[in-house]
Structure 1
Amino acid sequence: MTSAPKIVHEHIRIEHDADRARFELWQDHPGTEGESAAAPQFIGFLGYTVDDVEDASGHIGPVYRLQHTIIDEQFSRRGYARALVTVVLDRLREEEARISPECSYVADFLQRYPEYQDLVAR
């Protein structure tokens, strides 16, 4: 049995706004031949705080406390939150950061997708 993809949207991008402590999800609308592109739409964000924390082995690294996932009402229940959290967790894994899932959506996501459990700070 093949599992459904976690990201079903095209032309989405994540911007990290460190000044506002959030990862933003945007939908781009590229133009077609003979038609110009429409302005990007803001979909939502995943807010966080970050602390440098020492783990059991003495390694000090960032722990992102993922506090809230907010998706604009007009885009709710269409998979955008799942796409946002997937991309953010993949990016944090690449950066060798850990997370603390304080947001209920992120906690539920981790239950559904246990392949991300290794990111959780213990």
Structure 2
Amino acid sequence: MITQNIVYSNAEEKPGIGNEAAGSKELPVRILNNLVTRERAVGIGLMSGGVSVVEGNIIAQTGSVGIAVNGSTVLKLNRNRITKTGAPGIVIIAGSEIHEMQQNIVTNTRGPKMRIKESKVVEK
């Protein structure tokens, strides 16, 4: 579990918090209640088939996307606050699958607030 961390001013071209190919539907990587701010690139990046739960995070002042889901599964994408990003707040692409997405707040972003392309949000 990745919880209650402050990630500030990462000078790398990598996500502040990332999941690359880790976790399963039975035991997802849980990214909860973190503050990610002044990131040069993506705030939270989920990629390469990883399985995650992403809830209650604050992402502010990123150079790119707030939360990027790229070819991954997110069981819960809830109650995140995203503001002042250099790209859309939430991007879901490349065959990603979202099982639950509720009560996210996205403000002051460049481009659309949320973008979904070639992916799906599963309805229960």
User: Could you say whether these structures have the same fold, taking a TM-score greater than 0.5 normalized by the shorter chain as the test?
Assistant: no
Higher relative contact order (CA 8 A, sep 6+): 1
> Larger % of strand: which?
2
TM-score (norm 2): 0.32
- Report the structure, 1 or 2, having the larger helix content: 1
Q: TM-score, normalised by structure 1?
A: 0.32
Larger radius of gyration: 1
